[in-house]
Amino acid sequence: MDAENQTAKLTFEAALAKLESIVESMESGDVPLAELLAQFEEGNKLLQLCESRLKDAEIKIEQLRKQKDGVAFVPFETERGN
């Protein structure tokens, strides 16, 4: 399994923790430029994943709120097909 697939399978909490670790490492100033660029790229992917997971949660919450208000519930589906 490649790194991109592994990243996509991370939970929101795991992705956020990994992103925070990358930020701390980058802020330390002790990272060589090549590694800094690789970390920046990985951080961007993790940020996109976290944003996507948050958006999915927001959609689900809105659907549940509509159900509570008497609107028919529609099964939750994401862009990823989950």
Token pair in block for residue 41: 């790229």
Q: What is the pLDDT of residue 82?
A: 46
Q: What are phi and psi of 76, to 5 degrees?
A: -80, 130
Task: Find where tokens 């997971």 sit.
Answer: 53
Task: Find where tokens 């592994």 sit.
Answer: 6
Domain boundaries, the chain: 3-53
Q: What is the pLDDT of residues 16-64, one digit of tens each?
A: 999 999 999 999 988 899 999 999 999 999 999 999 999 999 999 888 8
Separation between Cα atoms, residue 41 and residue 12, nearest integer Å:
18
